[in-house]
């Protein structure tokens, strides 16, 4: 067995990383197609305020991260529903507020290493407790998306038409926001708060280059994320790099490769015509 798989901390990192690679792009597809990728950035910054609060008070940081990011997500959803014209501006304000609170709480705490691991991701710090939380939560998220698959699909395609088709728009939007915030909070450990939004969006962009249907888009984006996370963790281990950055840079490379394949495919199609 290669050395990278023999250490318990790496086994934990792979387990958590692969669960995140399943759920981040899964919800990312719906988020991107709704045109709401900015929400991922905003919630991840707000989640950091939760992490800082957890470190400061000695509570397991993922819990306050989930709580605060879910609350922020519900506020965002309310704003999006009521004043869609300024939705983007509201997101910037909430992002800034989240980051501001996080910075103040971090400055009050003397555990800067702890917070750094949540900013940039960490391999060595993935704990048993992380496993116990991430795996069941990720499974619940997968089941929820599967259960409401068509509803989420219709909401991404056209919210107004979805309402007429009897899709419980409000309920599913709220559920979706809770799922996004939870996913982001769970992902902080491996990818870090500053980069998780990229793991939600880049694999989807990669899949969009190749997929011919919505289902294929979901499948390919999960494959792209799994590939990025696994190759990223291996590279980060052997080259002693920050795992978050390595994973994201590799996803960008896979995106460029997929774009190249698309270009060649289209040129071939054009020549055949």
Identity of the residue, 9 or 149, whose beta carbon is nearer to other proteins in the bound complex: 149
Identity of the residue, 240 or 272, whose beta carbon is nearer to other proteins in the bound complex: 272
Identity of the residue, 220 or 254, whose beta carbon is nearer to other proteins in the bound complex: 220
Identity of the residue, 31 or 211, whose beta carbon is nearer to other proteins in the bound complex: 211
What is the C-alpha R_g of the chain?
A: 19
- Shortest spacing between CB 54 and other proteins, in angstroms: 35
What does the binding site for other proteins look like in residue numbers (CB under 8 A)? 33, 35, 146-151, 153-154, 156-158, 160-162, 164-167, 208, 211-217
- Shortest spacing between CB 226 and other proteins, in angstroms: 19
- Shortest spacing between CB 31 and other proteins, in angstroms: 13
* 197 token code pair: 């939004």
- Shortest spacing between CB 253 and other proteins, in angstroms: 22
Closest to 156 measured CA to CA, from 1, 25, 17, 32: 32
Asked whether the beta carbons of 243 and 236 are under 8 A apart, the reply is yes
* 148 token code pair: 């409401």
Identity of the residue, 105 or 167, whose beta carbon is nearer to other proteins in the bound complex: 167
Q: What share of the chain is helix, strand, coil (3-state, %, to 5)?
A: 85, 0, 15
- Shortest spacing between CB 168 and other proteins, in angstroms: 9
- Shortest spacing between CB 200 and other proteins, in angstroms: 17
Q: Name the residue with tokens 């494959």.
A: 223
- Shortest spacing between CB 213 and other proteins, in angstroms: 5
- Determine the 3-state secondary structure of 38 from DSSP: helix
Identity of the residue, 156 or 187, whose beta carbon is nearer to other proteins in the bound complex: 156
Distance CA 135, CA 126 (A): 13
Render the burial of 123-144: b for 16+ CB within 10 Å, e for the rest. bebbeeebbebbeebbeebeeb
What is the 3-state secondary structure of 180-240? HHHHHHHHHHHHCCCCHHHHHHHHHHHHHHHCCCHHHHHHHHHHHHHHHHHHHHHHHHHHC
Identity of the residue, 111 or 150, whose beta carbon is nearer to other proteins in the bound complex: 150
């Amino acid at each position: 067995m290669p050395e990278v798989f023999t250490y318990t901390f790496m086994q934990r990192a792979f387990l958590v990383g692969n669960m995140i690679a399943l759920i981040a792009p899964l919800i990312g597809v719906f988020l991107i197609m709704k045109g709401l990728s900015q929400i991922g950035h905003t919630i991840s910054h707000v989640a950091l305020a939760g992490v800082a609060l957890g470190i400061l008070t000695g509570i397991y940081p993922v819990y306050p991260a989930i709580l605060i990011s879910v609350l922020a997500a519900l506020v965002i959803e309310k704003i999006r529903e009521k004043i869609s014209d300024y939705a983007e501006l509201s997101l910037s304000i909430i992002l800034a507020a989240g980051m501001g609170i996080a910075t103040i709480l971090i400055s009050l705490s003397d555990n800067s290493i702890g917070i750094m691991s949540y900013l940039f991701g960490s391999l060595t710090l993935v704990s048993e407790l992380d496993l116990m939380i991430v795996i069941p939560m990720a499974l619940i998220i997968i089941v929820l998306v599967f259960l409401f698959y068509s509803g989420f699909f219709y909401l991404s395609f056209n919210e107004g038409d979805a309402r007429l088709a009897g899709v419980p728009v409000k309920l599913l939007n709220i559920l979706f926001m809770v799922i996004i915030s939870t996913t982001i909070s769970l992902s902080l450990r491996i990818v870090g708060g500053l980069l998780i939004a990229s793991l939600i969006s880049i694999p989807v962009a990669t899949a969009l280059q190749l997929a011919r249907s919505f289902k294929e888009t979901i499948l390919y984006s999960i494959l792209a994320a799994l590939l990025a996370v696994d190759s990223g963790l291996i590279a980060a281990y052997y080259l002693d790099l920050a795992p978050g950055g390595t994973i994201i840079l590799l996803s960008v490379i896979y995106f460029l490769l997929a774009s190249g394949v698309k270009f060649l495919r289209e040129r071939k199609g054009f020549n055949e015509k």
